[in-house]
Structure 1
Amino acid sequence: MLNARIKLRHLQAFLEVARQRSFARAAERLAITQPGMSKTIRELEELLDTSLFERTPQGVALTQAGLTLLRHAGPALRALEEGVGAIGDTHQGTRWLRVGALSTVESRLLPEALHRWHAEGSAHGEVGVNVVTGPSAFLLSRLRRGELDLVVGRMTEAREIQDLAFEHLYYERLLLVVRAGHPLAGVDPLPPEALTDHPWVLPPPQTTLRQQVDSFCVRHALSLPSRLLETLSLPLSRHYTLESEAIWVAPEEAVAEDLAAGRLCRLSLDLESHGGSVGLCTNASMQPSLALEAFCEILRQVAAV
């Protein structure tokens, strides 16, 4: 049974400190003083008879007890917010699904699923979809806190996925692609060391896709060139590659149309042979809505095509 002395303000303060990794920033976000924030967290720790945070050189980090509370408190407050919001939605006629999207699904899977969702709108009621993009660590942490309903993409290599529920849809590879007419286009066999003579467009450090690039470089004893463009933006990556001699480390889905049209060319050297698992990630501690289950089914149907 929930301790009646634990108030909503205790849980809101806890979640904000967990989100910000800083008492000062959390206090600023909640418009209270830092001593007030510290007092609120101290009260919660006394009520639970355990420490929730520990100080590190980078700020504060969750203890094991803090991680346990985070897995439950975030979804619980999110459910409460949805309940309050649903009252207003009854009058306004719109509810929302909050979806986190990785770059691996921005070109085909998610747009096609959204097209079908809106085409079948009357079957799902007035439910809109809010899409948040970013690296897997950012999106999965928001899913764990109950701030997203679903994350879609290639993320099985991410440490943050461990206590979340993942459903595999299909495998997708990262490819090395260049513009048509590039000096390396059509070169076969392609010596790995030739890659370092050109700029690279690749995912930023600390992303799951970058881990595959780093593994490729280790296998071929390569050092990344000094001329790098690190981004998860597909439009920026595409335009830069089409207008330069850059080599783009690209999700297969993102370049399929340009490869078919001959605007981009795939290099003969494979960055990875099998590819990573693209799928759906949900928070098992949150009760899925009928709308979420329907949207996931549409994603499965699109993935199967």
Structure 2
Amino acid sequence: MINNLKLRQLRLLVALDSERKLQLAAERLNITQSAASKMLAEIEAVARVPLFERTARGVEPTAYGSILIRGGRSVLADLDRVTNEFAGYRSGELGTVSVGTVAKPSIDLVVDVMQYLGEKLHRVSISLDVSTSPPLVARLLALELDFVVARIPAGVDPGQFDYHAIGAEQAGLLVRAEHPLAGLDSVNLEDTVDLQWIIQPRESFMRQGLERLFYSRGIAPPQRIINTE
């Protein structure tokens, strides 16, 4: 019979169990005591058994009443969870977020942001993918990612994005401690052309930026290349 009860009737049963006085239960539901009494009578008419015993101190649930109260609490708790989930999803405090980023230092930036937001994200499921900019931007356009920390590839219209420039990138060129260039006070770009390089593939922005640097000085880029991610 609990399926035939209305939510306000279930709330009255739970309020009566908590307050044990009809007047206090009515105040809790913002209704008059006579309205609460009438509602309880309607519930007992449906149940065809007494649900509360009237005493000098108030009301006490019968065995039948305890069963309905237990079921009512469960129904109302489920409804509260659904309501909270709905509100959280609508406000952005609940749901899933897919983030894509290029390699360091952008990964560190994304993690820092996640830590900064802290408690606001405790109900949000976050997935983090690491790749190069072209596939990340392609997945963003395909709605597979919500946010990306990447560079906009050449030929892609920046007007498609809500884009914020983080800042200019810096790159460091490293050699082993015993390398002949390591002992020099300054190194000319020409000194590096014929050396063995380990660098990202040609489609990467870092590789393209390096080659543009060589061309801007009128120097052909290095040819002895080992490609690496």
Q: TM-score, normalised by structure 2?
A: 0.51
Matched, 1:228 2:226: yes
Percent of residue pairs identical: 22
Which of the pair is proportionally richer in strand? 1
Alignment size in residue pairs: 139
Conserved? CA contact 1:137–1:160, under 8 Å: no
Which amino acid in structure 2 is aligned with residue 127 of structure 1?
A: V
> C-alpha distance in 2, partners of 1:148/1:116?
21
Which amino acid in structure 2 is aligned with residue 110 of structure 1?
A: V
Q: C-alpha displacement at 1:136, in angstroms?
A: 0.9
Q: Which has the higher contact order (CA 8 A, sep 6+)?
A: 1
Q: C-alpha displacement at 1:157, in angstroms?
A: 5.3
Of 151, 156, 160, which aligns to 2:156? 160
Matches within 5 A, 1:70-219: 95-106=95-106, 108-117=108-117, 120-121=118-119, 123-153=120-150, 155-156=151-152, 158-160=154-156, 162=158, 163-219=160-216
Which amino acid in structure 2 is aligned with residue 159 of structure 1?
A: G
Which amino acid in structure 1 is aligned with residue 211 of structure 2?
A: D
Matches within 5 A, 1:3-82: none
Conserved? CA contact 1:203–1:230, under 8 Å: yes
Q: C-alpha displacement at 1:106, in angstroms?
A: 4.1
> C-alpha distance in 2, partners of 1:206/1:195?
21
Conserved? CA contact 1:101–1:151, under 8 Å: yes
Consecutive unaligned residues in structure 1, runs of 5 or more: 1-85, 232-305
Consecutive unaligned residues in structure 2, runs of 5 or more: 1-84
> C-alpha distance in 2, partners of 1:216/1:164?
28
Conserved? CA contact 2:98–2:126, under 8 Å: yes
Counterpart residue number, 2:22? none
Secondary structure of 2:173's match? strand
Which amino acid in structure 1 is aligned with residue 114 of structure 2?
A: L
Conserved? CA contact 1:136–1:158, under 8 Å: no
Q: Deviations over 1:230-273 (max 9, x none)?
A: 32xxxxxxxxxxxxxxxxxxxxxxxxxxxxxxxxxxxxxxxxxx
The Cα RMSD (Å) is 2.9
Moved over 6 A (4+): none
Q: C-alpha displacement at 1:112, in angstroms?
A: 2.3
Q: Deviations over 1:253-298 (max 9, x none)?
A: xxxxxxxxxxxxxxxxxxxxxxxxxxxxxxxxxxxxxxxxxxxxxx
Q: C-alpha displacement at 1:169, in angstroms?
A: 2.2
Q: Deviations over 1:105-130 (max 9, x none)?
A: 3453123223334xx23x33411221
> C-alpha distance in 1, partners of 2:110/2:121?
17
Q: 1:159 to 1:102 in 2, by over 3 A?
A: farther
Secondary structure of 2:134's match? helix
Q: Deviations over 1:31-64 (max 9, x none)?
A: xxxxxxxxxxxxxxxxxxxxxxxxxxxxxxxxxx
> C-alpha distance in 2, partners of 1:158/1:187?
37
> C-alpha distance in 2, partners of 1:169/1:226?
33
